[in-house]
């Protein structure tokens, strides 16, 4: 339903915008109190809310205002308010969408699950001389997020959500702190990982807790927080990971044993063994470290899952700084290779060419740096200088890595994140604290894997000793903005992207909270189609983790299919189809999809749909047993995010019709008994290139072709 505001509420509020002096007869005496306070503010009368009221009533600086966004959440509408208007307002709130009209056409508002947004478009020469009527019409019990209420009474809360006026686009506070959604705690938390580990359809998270900055403190329980479906969390650690304690710096999820549920790897500091926890399918984890991991102690700040060798199981990379702590200098990065069943061998020496000894390793990030759909590895270090700067290890496709510096040396890096900041479909990177002077370092990935330092594209970029970052489309405009986890600051920092990879901070978007954030995650925890923020706290303060609910625009953009590739059918292991996807936010694992599927037809077979397997940051894979003589293979990718935005990729065809050598049906460059076996195996059918003469049936003439060329080779 849509119509003018008079159409919507005219039966009880009148057809026109109301002057504040006439409120008493329209909506009750309580609102007249506000009108009197406005008059007092105009007359410079003193009072606790004088400054706010004066701003509210006068609209000083409206000539500079381009856009106002009012955000409020109504818990419920009281059915017993004055003049019997509660039921009428409940009906109005349930309706949907309205157009607002007066003598000025100023915008629209949308009602969705009692989340209301009013967008006012105001010309440069226009100004309001009385309170926007929609505010004074809000009658009922509830709350309006933002500035403190102007008036509180029985069954009524009336408030404003205008930020201070500026000479640029005006935004409401979009990320509102709602830490009541998290359990109260005081644990030294280092890192979190988001995952639906109990497979109930909503996003839970785990936290790596570990006591002590430079010296080993008490062992702490790994924490598992379970979502009730609406973004409220319960600590179920003692039930789901009973007795698992340690000095954990990193936690990540991945299906290491191929049974369809996410398992958990925990990186430990202070020369302790990592821990591998196996999911029983319901989100209860068993420590199977002894059975599955090498008996090697590490001083590790981070661990990550990825299929590095293309065999469709998940291997594990670790930071390792040696025999003391993560601040040590005699460690090397580690790579554990999966045998296909979730049991691991240390193959670091054979797979890191030139060795991987680096001091003070802080982060390990898998991502596709060179657009070839295998997982490369970035190791971040807190040391500086050429020998110990963070390094990119480039994968040759089979899990063998060679290292290089990207855009020169860096300084005291704590973490890296990867995302496409300029819309060119390759992955750029940001290093938290990686530039000189304890600033963020931004590096653009240009064609040909040329890395360009564009740190000056972050404004401002203060000296701050920050610990983490995420890319995140805050305003749903299709480009990735930037979120910085701030250590000992007044608030987390949010930067808006101009679309080209230049970032400008908007400090009005998130609640001001002073704490010591060590890690930050973005995901839709409340299930409303908006990605929220969770931070974890360590090193200082009260150690209370934080939740920020997103009250801004919902995600309406589907995932992007950036690449699709059919790996070479002649390779061993068997071929796979891989795809790389991106969406509205990043993490070490990529985004959290509702599904990623492939539809595929091999040769003349019917189209079949399969769920694809996550093989590392933003990459999914599906193994296919393709014989060359199956002819044309046709496939496409389908994906959806958790907001329900879906994408269907185009159909892709690969012609695998056979070798140029007559009779070489399996394309191994020789005609032999294997080719005879193909003829006999498909005798009487019309199967692909086994029908060598194209008469529609595999028979004697086709066998004669093979025998005539028997022993030939290329």
Span of 291-295, 539-543, 544-548, 660-664 with lowest mean pLDDT? 660-664
Q: Report the share of the chain in percent with pLDDT over 70.
A: 73
Tell which wins on pLDDT, 320 or 103: 320
List pLDDT tens digits, range 633-666. 899 999 999 999 999 999 998 876 667 788 888 7
CATH homologous superfamily of domain 668-711?
A: Dockerin domain (1.10.1330.10)
**Residue 73 has what DSSP assignment?**
E
The helix or strand, by DSSP H or E, that contains position 56, with its residue range, turns out to be helix 50-58
Handedness of CA 292, 298, 300, 306 (dihedral sign): negative
The Cα angle at residue 217 between residues 213 and 218, in degrees rounded to 5: 140
Span of 70-74, 272-276, 305-309, 684-688 with lowest mean pLDDT? 70-74
List pLDDT tens digits, range 407-442. 778 889 999 999 999 999 999 999 999 999 999 999
E-only strand ranges, 324-390: 334-338, 344-346, 361-367, 376-381
- pLDDT interval class at 574 (50, 70, 90): low
Q: Is 702 helix (H, G, I), strand (E, B) or coil?
A: helix
* Fold for the domain defined by 173-548: Methylamine Dehydrogenase; Chain H (2.130.10)
List pLDDT tens digits, range 39-85. 444 443 344 334 433 333 433 333 322 223 233 333 333 333 333 43
Residue 566: per-residue pLDDT: 87
Residue 661: per-residue pLDDT: 85
Q: How buried is residue 84: exposed, middle or buried, by Cβ count under 10 Å (0-12/13-18/19+)?
A: exposed
Residue 404: per-residue pLDDT: 87
Give the residue-averaged pLDDT of 235-255: 98
- Contacts of residue 190, Cβ cutoff 8 Å, sequence gap at least 6: 207, 208, 209, 210, 248, 249, 250, 518, 519, 536, 538
Encoding tokens for residue 73?
Answer: 């959440």
Give rounded-to-5 percent helix, strand, coil for the chain. Answer: 15, 35, 50
Residue 570: per-residue pLDDT: 52
List pLDDT tens digits, range 356-368. 888 999 999 999 9
Asked if pLDDT for residue 127 goes beyond 90, the answer is no
Q: Is 324 helix (H, G, I), strand (E, B) or coil?
A: coil
Residue with the two structure tokens 């997103």: 550
Asked if pLDDT for residue 5 goes beyond 70, the answer is no
Phi, psi of 192 (to 5 degrees): -130, 155
Asked if pLDDT for residue 400 goes beyond 80, the answer is yes
Tell which wins on pLDDT, 153 or 702: 702
All structural domains of the chain with their residue ranges: 173-548, 558-654, 668-711
Q: What is the Cα–Cα distance from 581 to 640, expressed in whole angstroms?
A: 10
Q: Report the share of the chain in percent with pLDDT over 90.
A: 61
Q: What is the Cα–Cα distance from 100 to 71, expressed in whole angstroms?
A: 16
CB atoms within 10 A of CB 713: 11
List pLDDT tens digits, range 201-230. 999 999 999 998 999 999 999 999 999 999
Asked if pLDDT for residue 292 goes beyond 70, the answer is yes
The Cα-based distances of 233 to 198, 255, 536 in angstroms read 13, 23, 14
E-only strand ranges, 506-630: 515-523, 532-537, 546-550, 560-566, 576-582, 593-602, 608-611, 613-616, 619-623
- Mean of the per-residue pLDDT values of the chain: 78
- pLDDT interval class at 630 (50, 70, 90): low
CATH 2.60.40.10 fits 558-654, yes or no: yes
């Amino acid at each position: 339903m849509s119509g003018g505001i008079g159409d919507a509420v005219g039966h009880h509020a009148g057809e026109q915008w109301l002057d504040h002096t006439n409120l008493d007869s329209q909506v009750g005496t309580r609102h007249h109190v506000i009108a009197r306070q406005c008059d007092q503010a105009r007359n410079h009368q003193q009072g606790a809310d004088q400054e706010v009221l004066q701003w509210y009533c006068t609209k000083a600086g409206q000539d500079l205002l381009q856009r106002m966004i009012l955000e409020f959440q109504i818990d419920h509408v009281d059915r017993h308010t004055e003049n019997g208007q509660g039921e009428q307002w409940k009906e109005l709130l349930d309706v949907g969408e309205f157009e607002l009209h007066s003598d000025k056409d100023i915008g629209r508002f949308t009602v969705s699950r009692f989340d209301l947004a009013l967008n006012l478009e105001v010309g440069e020469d226009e100004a309001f001389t009385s309170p926007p009527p929609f505010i004074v019409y809000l009658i009922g019990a509830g709350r309006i997020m933002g500035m403190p209420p102007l008036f509180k009474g029985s069954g009524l809360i009336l408030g404003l959500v205008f930020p201070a006026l500026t000479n640029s686009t005006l935004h409401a506070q979009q990320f509102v702190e709602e830490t009541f959604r998290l359990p109260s705690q005081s644990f030294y938390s280092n890192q979190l990982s988001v995952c639906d580990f109990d497979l109930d359809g909503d996003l839970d998270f785990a936290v790596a807790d570990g006591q002590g900055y430079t010296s080993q403190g008490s062992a702490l329980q790994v924490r598992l927080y379970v979502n009730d479906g609406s973004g409220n969390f319960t600590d179920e650690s003692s039930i789901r990971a009973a007795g698992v304690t340690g000095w954990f710096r990193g936690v990540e999820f991945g299906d290491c044993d191929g049974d369809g549920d996410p398992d958990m790897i925990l990186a430990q500091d202070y020369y302790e063994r990592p821990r591998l926890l196996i999911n029983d399918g319901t989100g209860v984890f068993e420590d199977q470290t002894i059975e599955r991991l090498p008996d090697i102690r590490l001083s590790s700040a981070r661990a990550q899952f990825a299929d590095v060798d293309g065999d469709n199981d998940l291997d594990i990379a670790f930071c390792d700084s040696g025999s003391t702590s993560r601040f040590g200098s005699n460690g090397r990065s580690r790579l554990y290779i999966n045998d296909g069943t979730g049991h691991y061998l240390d193959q670091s020496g054979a797979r890191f060419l030139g060795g991987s000894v680096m001091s003070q390793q802080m982060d390990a990030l898998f991502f596709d740096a060179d657009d070839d759909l295998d997982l490369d590895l970035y190791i971040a270090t807190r040391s500086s200088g050429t020998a110990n700067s963070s390094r990119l290890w480039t994968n040759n496709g089979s899990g063998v890595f060679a290292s290089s510096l990207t855009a020169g040396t860096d300084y005291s890096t704590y973490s890296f994140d990867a995302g496409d900041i300029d819309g060119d479909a390759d992955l750029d990177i940001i290093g938290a604290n990686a530039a000189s002077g304890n600033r963020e370092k931004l590096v653009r990935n240009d064609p040909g894997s040329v890395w360009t330092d564009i740190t000056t594209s972050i404004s401002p970029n203060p000296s701050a000793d920050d610990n983490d970052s995420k890319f995140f489309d805050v305003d749903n405009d299709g480009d990735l903005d930037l979120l910085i986890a701030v250590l000992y600051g007044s608030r987390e920092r949010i930067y808006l992207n101009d679309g080209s990879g230049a970032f400008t901070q908007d400090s009005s978007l998130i609640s001001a909270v002073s704490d010591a954030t060590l890690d930050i995650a973005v995901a839709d925890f409340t299930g409303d189609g908006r990605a929220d923020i969770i931070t974890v706290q360590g090193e200082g303060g009260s150690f209370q983790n934080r939740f920020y609910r997103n009250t801004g625009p919902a995600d309406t953009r589907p995932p992007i299919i950036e690449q699709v590739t059919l790996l070479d059918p002649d390779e061993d292991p068997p071929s796979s189809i891989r795809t790389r996807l991106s969406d509205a936010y990043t993490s070490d694992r990529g985004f959290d999809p509702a599904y990623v599927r492939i539809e595929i037809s091999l040769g003349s077979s019917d189209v079949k749909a399969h769920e694809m397997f996550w093989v590392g940051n933003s990459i999914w894979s599906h193994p296919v047993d393709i014989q060359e003589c199956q002819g044309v293979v046709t496939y496409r990718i389908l994906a959806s995010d958790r907001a329900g935005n879906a994408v269907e990729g185009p159909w892709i065809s690969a012609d695998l019709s056979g070798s140029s050598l007559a009779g070489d049906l399996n394309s191994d460059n020789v005609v032999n008994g294997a080719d005879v076996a193909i003829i006999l195996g498909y005798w009487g059918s019309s199967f692909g290139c086994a029908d060598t003469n194209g008469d529609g049936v595999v028979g004697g003439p086709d066998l004669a072709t093979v025998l005539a060329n028997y022993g030939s080779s290329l």
